[in-house]
Structures are given as C-alpha cells and as structure tokens.
Amino acid sequence: MKETKPDFNRIRSKVAERIAELSSRNLKIETKSDQSLVTEFDLFINALIKSELDLADSKNCFYSEEDNKGLEFPAYILDPLDGTKEFVEGRNEYSISLAFMKTPELQNQENWGWLYNPGTQENFFNGRSLNSKKDGFLGFVSRTEFEMGLHNYESEKLKLKPIGSIAYKLGLLSQGKCDFVYSKKPKNLWDICAGTLLCLQAEISLFHKKQELQKLDKEFYDGPLLWCKKENFEKIISLIS
C-alpha cells in the first residue's frame, strides 16, 4: 500500500495565510552556525508539514533541514524553504520541497516528490516527459554560482539562466522549462530529493560526477551534479566541460 499523502491544498492555504500575515510586519531572521539563513517562515512550514504528516502513528523517519536527527528509510525528506536567501530578498525563486522515499532506490514506485513555490503559486507534483532537443540546450544554474563566474561556458549551442533555489530549478526542469540543471556546489539530500523524483517522472536522470545515480541514500552530495535526459548527457557534458 502506498504511503498516504498529506493534504497539499490545505498546506498551500495555510502557507498563503502566513505570507499575508508576514507582509504586515518585519520578518524574524536568524543566521545558523553554517552561516545560512533561517526565518520564522522556514520554521512555520517545517512545523506545519510535520503536523500534516501525522507522524505519531507512523514508523517513517522525518528528515528536515530544520529538524534532522539521522536518516533512515522509509523517510519523509523536507526542505521547508529551499532558497531562503531569495525569499528574504523578495525574489520569487524559492520552493517548499517534500519527498517520501519508501526506499532509497529512485525507481521505487512508492516514492514521490512535491514542490511548491508560494511566491509564484507554482505547484509541481507530476513530471512531464517531453521530446528531447537534438541541438541547442538551455540550462538553469545557481544564481550565486553564476555571479561568482563559475559558469562561463555559454556558446551558440548552450544558453544559461541563473535561478536561485535548486529545488525550484528542478521543478521547472521536470516541466520542460529547460534542458538541464547543473550545480557545481554540494547539495544536501533535502535540497534535491523531491526535485530529482519529479525529474525521474519526466525521464530525466541525475548524474553525480558523470555517473548516473540509481538511489539517494546519502545525506550530502558534493558537486558537480547534473540533471538531464540520458540521450543528452554526452552532448551537454562536452559543452560544459
């Protein structure tokens, strides 16, 4: 029996209510020990989704950026707000990222992912398999990495667009809005899990250091990471190398 999914519409409604309330006052922001930001909005979403999952009667692990005590499967894997920096700066390039993994194997049919951008109200739950391009690729990359000059390989056959949240980028990729997503910097599992599962539905694979991953069983993945269709992998690698 597949795991019961939370009420995503109710979550979205409560998130919208909190955003409206936050707009009337100053947002509470803290800096964590790793120098990343956490806001009261991150913590609200974390508590909201945890309550919606009804973990009291569940044997599933809850593994979140704001609430992690070790990863075990089956697991709910959450990034309450991937792209907190963008949210704080008023840029709509962030996403709630929630996944359920019965097992770490990516092909397990009981696994699922959900992404939601409260700023744009884009709701990603199903990947769309689209025809693959043969010539010319559009890639989404990290805004921070792009501004640091880490992606300087544009050409006639390859165009880049910097976007903040990795989860949001993967949601867009799963809907055919670009041909690949490329990250040179490391990512935590909660950053990429839901988006990777959505991309898999669209027949898009995750390559870690040029090797296609068949499972996500680690808490941390160093770069580079590339999401694209298998048939485009060699062409894209030749253009970004």
Q: What's the whole-number mean pLDDT along residues 191-198?
A: 98
Q: Which of 96, 124, 152 is where one domain is finished?
A: 124
Tens digit of each residue's pLDDT (9 = 90 or more) over 203-224: 999 999 899 999 999 999 998 9
Residues 28 and 98 placed together within one structural domain of the fold: yes
Task: Write down the pLDDT at residue 1.
Answer: 47
Kindly report the CATH number assigned to the domain that includes residue 203. 3.40.190.80
Residues 168 and 80 placed together within one structural domain of the fold: no
63-68 contacts, C-beta under 8 A, 24 or more apart: 63/189, 63/190, 64/190, 65/188, 65/190, 66/38, 66/42, 68/190, 68/219
- The pTM of the whole model exceeds 0.85: yes
Q: Which of 124, 157, 174 is where one domain is finished?
A: 124
| Residue 56 in this model has a pLDDT that exceeds 90 | no
Residues 150 and 174 placed together within one structural domain of the fold: yes
Tens digit of each residue's pLDDT (9 = 90 or more) over 224-236: 999 999 999 999 9
Kindly report the CATH number assigned to the domain that includes residue 35. 3.30.540.10
Task: Write down the pLDDT at residue 36.
Answer: 85
Task: Write down the pLDDT at residue 23.
Answer: 87
Domain region containing 19: 8-124
Tens digit of each residue's pLDDT (9 = 90 or more) over 32-52: 888 888 999 999 999 999 999
Q: Give me the residue label for tokens 């050409």.
A: 155
Residues 91 and 183 placed together within one structural domain of the fold: no
What's the chain's average pLDDT?
93
Q: Which of 124, 146, 162 is where one domain is finished?
A: 124
Quick one: which H or E segment has residue 37? strand 37-39
Residues 13 and 115 placed together within one structural domain of the fold: yes
Q: What's the whole-number mean pLDDT along residues 131-135?
A: 66
Split into its structural domains, the chain has a count of 2
